[in-house]
Structure 1
Amino acid sequence: MRDDLIDLLWTGLLETLYMVFWSSLFALAIGLALGITVVVTERGGILPIPILNKVIGFIINTVRSLPFIILIVILLPVSRFIVGTSLGPKAAIVALSIGAAPFLARIIENSLKEVAGGKIEAAKSVGASPVTIIFRVLIPEALPALVRAATIAVIAITEFTAVAGAIGAGGLGSLAIRFGYQRFREDILFATVLVIILLVQIIQWTGDLTARSIQQRRFKRE
Structure 2
Amino acid sequence: MNIPTRARAAVLLVVVVLPVVAGLAGPANAHPFGAPPTARISATGSHVAIHYSASPDDWFALGTAKGAFEDPAPQLTGEEKLERSPVVRDYLLRTIAVAQDGRPCPGRLGSLVGVTDNGARLNYDCGRPVDALDVTLSALVDLDRDYRTVLVFAPPVQREQMLFTATTTTQRLTFSGPGVSAAVVGVALWLAFVVAAGIGGLVVLRARRRRRPA
Is the TM value for this pair above 0.5?
Answer: no
Between structure 1 and structure 2, the one with the greater Rg is: 2
Higher relative contact order (CA 8 A, sep 6+): 1
| TM value normalised by structure 1 | 0.28
Select the structure that is richer in strand: 2
| TM value normalised by structure 2 | 0.29
Select the structure that is richer in helix: 1
